[in-house]
Structure 1
Amino acid sequence: MTTDRSDAAVADTRLWHPFSDMAAVRRSEFLLTRGEGVWVFDDEGRRYLDGTASLWYANVGHGRREIADAVMEQFGKLEAYSAFGDFTTPPAQELAARIADLSPLEDARVFFTTGGGEALDSAAKIARRYWNAKGKPERVHIIGRTGGYHGTNGYGTSIGGIEANRSGFGPLMPQTSQVQWDSLTALEEEILRVGADRVAAVFAEPVIGAGGVLPPPEGYLQGVQAICEEHGILFVADEVICGFGRLGHWFGSERFGLTPDMLTFAKGVTSGYLPLGGVVASARVAEPFWDEPGNMLRHGATYSAHAACCVAGLANIDLLEREGMLAGALELESVLLDGLKPFAANPLVREVRGGVGLLAAVEFTAEALANGAPAAAFAAARERGVLVRALGQGIAVSPPLNITREELGVLADGIGGALDAVAAASVA
């Protein structure tokens, strides 16, 4: 879309955007000014359907006064205080208890962070520290999967399975590896190669998100858990994308009948209204730290258990419950997928995936990928008032959970028009 922008908008920005080619972005930022429900608006007043819930997280939609008002009330009491030592606040206590009760882990404990990347690295350090506390300090190896995305901190980058995110940074964390995302045989072989008595944990997203929206093969996740149990390895479910209703349950682990040793969360816990993440740890993992005096976990963030952020989480969970959004996600998952299925006939498209919660992806053919189809489709959809996410293999959608059937139709129409336009341009 070519439009006249204000002088401020075309000036060389001082903002260094994450995951961005700043040489291209520096004078052409896309400026959003407000949001309402599943819609966001740019600085020229144009409306866009937010087909990605921003970065997979705006589960309850934009502009929810209930969350804003609850946070403002907390600001008037106590905005935040450190949770180090024995300090705490009522919102931190309440949210920890609520998340523990909602999780599939029995007698769970909750360790708060300020986002998903921190949550992942916290879980990795807890796993290694757990084995140290159990007298097995040699158990440090951590296994991830190809296509997996676990944030961009040290451990997350090292066990992540998207090669482009790992390259160019020099040596990463040692004693980490990845296995084929859908192969139990590959996992078993890697554990035997490393030595089961040296493996601390296996990390897996219930549904791989940024790596292409890949639902697990039937029985795969249950098989991962069984292998971990057989070898005494901790199983960690990365629920940063899948948690808080995205898969139609509070956590994706519930959908697949899993009881991991730990799970990580972020994004949907506040729907992005304030930054918050964390780790839910089982009684097994918490035991050496909670029952043995002096066995301190020397790890944590300055803003861990931030009071106002915890209030945002509580208000967000209230909305998810009160408006039945988890059930809505289950009801609409087939509607979303059915709206995208016809695009499999487009010459650009290799596969359409979805049907597990409000997540779906359109994967392109190798030829289309070589010709830059993901970026072109992203731009063409935005031209049509629909925001999607360009991935390495195609485009993904993950709309707010309060989207309607009619709005899902708008989403599908925008994507369909974009794909047709890109296909037409490729043969012109």
Structure 2
Amino acid sequence: MSAQPPAPLDPEAYWMPFTANRRYKRDPVLFDAAEGMYYQRPDGGKVLDGIAGLWCVNAGHRRPEIVQAIAHCAHQLDYAPSFQMGHPLAFQFAEALCAQAPGDLSRVFFSNSGSEAVDTALKIALGYHKARGQGQRVRLIGRERSYHGVGFGGLSVSGIGGHRKNFGNLLPYVDYLPHTYDRSQMAYTHGQPAWGAHLADELERIVALHDASTIAAVIVEPVAGSTGVLVPPQGYLQRLREICDKHGILLIFDEVICAFGRLGAAYASERFGVQPDILTCAKGLTNGAIPMGATLVREAVYQAYMDAPEGAIEFSHGYTYSGHPVACAAGLATLAIHQREGLAQRARELEPYWEDAAHALRGLPGVVDIRNIGLLAAVELEPLPGQAGKRGYAVHQACLAKGSLIRSSGDAMLLSPPLVVDKPQIDQLFSTLAEVLQGA
């Protein structure tokens, strides 16, 4: 008996995230399989993944070790609650994460996404000060052009206006540092710009305005990813750390994109030599195979909570799927791959080749800047007059039609491939982008 053809796809029921739904559903882009560096279309065509899914598939797609770990765990323990009970995998994964974390980030709280990891971090920061008798520290400091997820907490400290404008009032008591990008001073920088460390001193202005005794935490992405790969100026993060220490303010690094080898180190804090008090991660945590987020904290932050009375719930926070066993199994398998294959070191070794390939696009039609660090790059395009983002989206579509997935963020073309990428695949990604730009 012959196999029946698949039923026609009706895309209407699915309300898609961060998508122009009506435009997409007129001409859907679908992937139905993936392996290694490639997605597969329903017609069998291959697409080279230049963005690691969505910054997350750092070890490459459909790794057998992760698939097997997921299947084995689901067969043995599909779910176990984490409220007042536990399962071994959560403790094993927490220990493994903390063992490779920088400094004394020695405790981890599990959630389900980067957004939840950030909201968890903000609540931990507020509760930490309250536990120490400084409950008046309620103010949170974000940064312009930052992205910290879509929960009300993360959105409140995010600095991308288009994400915020439709939702009215968010959290009170929030202020913002200026972003760190000035094209006139930084255009075509290789790695960290030499100009801009002084922008961290804006935190002193905010402290003078509000008083340090009201400020709980500062949250920044070490490299601002979704807004267009804004690399921190030399000395900038170090200066933020100094000011936070001076005024008793917690420093939170949002490493949802930066962690797990992306910058040629296990964490961005390791690459830049700056110790945060709280660190959030997700995406590469499980290689994108299962949703999971994690919030790591320094020992002193955790211990402040442990002064609560014996038997009390020290931190009234959590999710039904916190420390989900299948996610922990995927995470343990992912960490093992990173350690066995040295993916962070591989990224660091490929970085000069990646950098040269990116900057070779300088001078092509429409290109106004190129930024890079680790295996991250952005090629900034001049917007079409009065049509911001239209050029970038058209270039994204044209690259996809040629078999390369390169994401557009407004008019910045973003590249962030799996860390298993090889030099011919790097050449393909940038040559495809160059070909599209030359024909635009």
Is the structural similarity TM-score above 0.5? yes
The range that moved more, 231-240 or 96-105, is 96-105
The one-character-per-residue Cα deviations of 1:86-145 (angstroms, maximum 9, x if unpaired) are: x11111001101111111131610000001000000000111111111111110111111
Q: Give 1:181's aligned residue.
A: 179
Of the three residues 276, 283, 288, the one matched with 2:292 is 276
Of the three residues 255, 259, 263, the one matched with 1:239 is 255
Q: Give 2:206's aligned residue.
A: 190
The one-letter code of the counterpart of 2:83 is F
The one-character-per-residue Cα deviations of 1:142-187 (angstroms, maximum 9, x if unpaired) are: 1111111100111111111111111111111111121112311222
Q: Pairwise mapping of residues 13-92 of structure 1 onto structure 2 (< 5 A)? A: 13-85=12-84, 87-92=85-90
Asked if 1:353 is matched to 2:371, the reply is yes
The one-character-per-residue Cα deviations of 1:172-213 (angstroms, maximum 9, x if unpaired) are: 111112111231122221122121110000001111100110
What TM-score comes out, normalization by structure 1 length?
0.94
Q: Pairwise mapping of residues 20-419 of structure 1 onto structure 2 (< 5 A)? A: 20-85=19-84, 87-106=85-104, 108-182=106-180, 183-293=199-309, 294=312, 296-354=314-372, 356-367=373-384, 370=388, 372-419=390-437
Name the CA distance, whole Å, in 2 between partners of 1:251 and 1:153: 23
Q: CA deviation at 1:26?
A: 2.6
Q: CA deviation at 1:22?
A: 1.2
SS at the partner of 2:168?
coil
Contact between 1:288 and 1:295, CA under 8 Å: does it hold in 2? no
Contact between 1:348 and 1:419, CA under 8 Å: does it hold in 2? yes
SS at the partner of 2:438?
helix
The one-letter code of the counterpart of 2:426 is L
Q: CA deviation at 1:366?
A: 4.2
Contact between 1:105 and 1:281, CA under 8 Å: does it hold in 2? no
The one-letter code of the counterpart of 1:24 is R
Change (3 A) 1:35 1:107: closer
Name the CA distance, whole Å, in 2 between partners of 1:107 and 1:42: 42
Contact between 1:12 and 1:27, CA under 8 Å: does it hold in 2? no
SS at the partner of 1:111?
strand
Name the CA distance, whole Å, in 2 between partners of 1:411 and 1:31: 20
Name the CA distance, whole Å, in 2 between partners of 1:258 and 1:186: 19
Name the CA distance, whole Å, in 2 between partners of 1:290 and 1:110: 14
Contact between 1:349 and 1:363, CA under 8 Å: does it hold in 2? yes
Name the CA distance, whole Å, in 1 between partners of 2:121 and 2:162: 23
The one-character-per-residue Cα deviations of 1:389-412 (angstroms, maximum 9, x if unpaired) are: 110241101000000011111111
Name the CA distance, whole Å, in 1 between partners of 2:69 and 2:389: 48
What TM-score comes out, normalization by structure 2 length?
0.91
Change (3 A) 1:307 1:374: same
Name the CA distance, whole Å, in 1 between partners of 2:380 and 2:105: 41
Name the CA distance, whole Å, in 1 between partners of 2:69 and 2:18: 32
Unaligned runs of 5+ in 2: 1-5, 181-198
Name the CA distance, whole Å, in 2 between partners of 1:50 and 1:305: 29
Change (3 A) 1:198 1:275: same
Contact between 2:280 and 2:293, CA under 8 Å: does it hold in 1? yes
State how many pairs are aligned: 415
The one-character-per-residue Cα deviations of 1:263-315 (angstroms, maximum 9, x if unpaired) are: 00100011101011110011111012224333621111100000110010000
Contact between 1:145 and 1:178, CA under 8 Å: does it hold in 2? yes
Contact between 2:148 and 2:254, CA under 8 Å: does it hold in 1? yes
SS at the partner of 2:290?
coil
The one-letter code of the counterpart of 1:358 is L
Contact between 1:373 and 1:394, CA under 8 Å: does it hold in 2? no
The one-character-per-residue Cα deviations of 1:324-377 (angstroms, maximum 9, x if unpaired) are: 1111110112212211212220231110110x2110000112447647211011
Q: CA deviation at 1:255?
A: 0.6
SS at the partner of 2:424?
helix
The one-letter code of the counterpart of 2:95 is A
Name the CA distance, whole Å, in 2 between partners of 1:29 and 1:69: 31
Contact between 2:109 and 2:294, CA under 8 Å: does it hold in 1? yes
Contact between 1:104 and 1:258, CA under 8 Å: does it hold in 2? no
Q: CA deviation at 1:71?
A: 1.3
Unaligned runs of 5+ in 1: 1-5, 423-428
Q: CA deviation at 1:7?
A: 7.1
The range that moved more, 99-108 or 200-209, is 99-108
Contact between 1:109 and 1:286, CA under 8 Å: does it hold in 2? yes
Name the CA distance, whole Å, in 2 between partners of 1:295 and 1:224: 33
**Percent sequence identity over aligned pairs:** 37
Contact between 1:144 and 1:202, CA under 8 Å: does it hold in 2? yes
Off by >6 Å, runs of 4+ in structure 1 = none
